[in-house]
Amino acid sequence: MVEVGPFRALRPAPGLAERVMSPPYDVVDVEEARAYAGGDPDSFLRVSRPEIDLPASVQPHSDEVYARGRANLEDFVARGVLVRDDEPTYSVYRQVMGDVVQTGVVAVVGVADYDAGRVRVHELTRPDKEDDRVRHIEALDAQDEPVFLLSRRSADVDHVVSRVVTRDPAVDVVTRDGVGHRLWIVDHPSEIDALHRAFAEAGDLYVADGHHRSAAASRVHAARRAADAPRGEQAPGHEAHGGPECSRFLAVVFPIDDVHVMAYNRVVADLFGLSVEELLVALDETGFDLSPASGAVTPKVAHEFGVHLDGDWFRARARDVDDGDPLGRLDVSILQERVLAPLLGIGDPRTDSRIAFVGGIRGAKEIERLVAEGRAAVGFTLCPTPTADLVAVADAGEVMPPKSTWFEPKLASGLFLHPLH
């Protein structure tokens, strides 16, 4: 079983959610964050992206940035912008984006379950991003952005959620991107008990988005336990430095079949010494049927790719795919093993600066723009990776190539925080 529990959330005061909530820190760059927050002192980007309050000359990972995030969070609490729940609660969080509706439960999940592999992962993390999240959590003494988790559907969880959403939500906001965000606070003891029991029987959980945040939570917990233990020895159950909250991390848990996945496309800065013609010939030799396309290619079926270079689009269909291999059959794996590594020299896409990743919400137009501006020489569009394949890879103990899935809509930041004290 995985411990999925209620907690005393720090959340916007009634009526302030629309002012506070913001996009996640990692989907906007610094300039986009500055423009989004504008002059609003209540924008949560001042906590999640505190460099927007500092001169551009300040390095984004300097001590000054993390300290400003802590100061801004303390200011939000002091001014009553954020308030703490009196008792532990769950929340039901629903997002609406056009025809897409996904509903999850806001909770905290045991770090021990993550460490033991009961919260399953499918991607490796980058050390620099992990380090950044560790420093951010330590500075805030709180987890401010949730991990996006998937769970097998539970009729018992559904029963509670379906009852909760018949009531008036505590938050009902449409953000600038047109996505609706509704939040119901679950504070009735019987519903809290029912959700706790239901999740205990729901089986393992899967990280959909937030590998760095969950890994950072584990590192913070381990470091605080080690600091508390006498003579450096770990003392089980001894949590004086971080308190019991340090042993849990913030998450929203969605049913696997209730989430919307988009492709995570790729662009590469150069052709690794190949001409356009040589690359097209090489694609055929590495197992693709290639044909010109009259416009942008947005694949809808597995093993089909769009290739954009020199102003033209091509449709590429992979041949001879072993669909019995849960990792090898993934389109992100096919592209990496047949194209990016052998033809374009991208041995490790986690660290190679020549490759960039374009979230599916930005579409093929973003690839066309990057190629037209000379910031990339070639772009690839892919079919979205199904959540069933994500689960199969995680259950097999395998690791997907980085940036294999793009979940949309994104979880808003600032609607709920998990203080570690």
**CA-to-CA distance for 350 and 355, rounded, in angstroms?**
9
Taking CA atoms, 158 is separated from 3, 53, 202, 388, in Å, by: 18, 42, 12, 20
Confidence (pLDDT) at 71: 98
- Provide the 8-state DSSP code for 339: I
Amino acid 230: pLDDT:
63
Element (H, E) at 127: helix 127-140
Q: How many CB atoms lie within 10 A of CB 156?
A: 15
Spell out the per-residue pLDDT of the chain, length 421, in tens.
Answer: 899 999 999 999 999 999 999 999 988 999 999 999 998 999 999 999 999 999 999 998 999 999 999 999 999 999 999 999 999 999 999 999 999 999 999 999 999 999 999 999 988 888 899 999 999 999 999 999 999 999 999 999 999 999 999 999 999 999 999 999 999 999 999 999 999 999 999 999 999 999 999 999 999 999 999 988 764 444 444 344 456 899 999 999 999 999 999 999 999 999 999 999 999 999 999 999 999 999 999 999 999 999 999 999 999 999 999 988 889 999 999 999 999 999 999 999 988 999 999 987 888 999 999 999 999 999 999 999 999 999 999 998 888 888 888 899 999 999 999 999 9
CA distance 421 to 108: 14
d(CA 27, CA 370): 17
Assigned fold of 264-383: 3.30.1760
pLDDT of residue 239: 42
Cα–Cα distance measured from residue 304 to residue 279, given in angstroms and rounded to the nearest whole number: 17
- Closest by CA to 217, choosing from 188, 246, 239, is 246
pLDDT of residue 126: 83
Query: Which one-letter DSSP state was computed for residue 337?
Result: I
Rounded to the nearest angstrom, the gap between the alpha carbon of residue 202 and the centroid of all alpha carbons in its chain is 22
* Domain locations in the chain as residue ranges: 4-260+409-419, 264-383
Q: Which residues contact 326 (CB under 8 A, 6 or more apart)?
A: 389, 392, 393, 396, 398
Stated as kind and residue range, the H or E segment containing 13 is: none
In whole angstroms, give the CA distance from residue 92 to residue 198.
15
Q: Which amino acid would we find at residue 350?
A: R
d(CA 361, CA 98): 13
CA–CA separation, 259 vs 411, rounded Å? 12
| Cβ 390 vs Cβ 327: under 8 Å | no
- Helices then strands (H, E): number in the chain? 13, 21
- pLDDT score at 68: 98
Nearest to 314 by CA among 290, 337, 283, 287: 290
Question: How many angstroms separate the CA atoms of 17 and 59, rounded?
Answer: 30
Strand 248-255, strand 147-151: pairing:
parallel
Q: Do 131 and 213 touch, CB atoms closer than 8 A?
A: no
Q: How far apart are CA 82 and CA 111, in angstroms?
A: 25
Write down the pLDDT at residue 401. Answer: 85
Of the candidates 7, 234, 240, 3, the residue with the CA atom closest to the CA atom of residue 114: 3
Q: In whole angstroms, give the CA distance from residue 367 to residue 373.
A: 10
Distance CA 214, CA 208 (A): 11
Closest by CA position to 384, among listed 367, 350, 356, 361: 361
What sign has the CA pseudo-torsion 175, 177, 182, 183? negative
| CA pair distance 38, 52, nearest whole angstrom | 10
Rounded Cα–Cα distance for residues 14 and 132 (Å): 31
Question: How many residues in total does the chain contain?
Answer: 421
| pLDDT value, residue 243 | 66
Q: How far is CA 387 from CA 152, 261, 392, 406, in A?
A: 11, 8, 9, 11
Tell me, what's the pLDDT at 351?
86
CB count in 10 Å sphere of residue 271: 18
**Helix, strand or coil, per DSSP, at residue 414:** coil
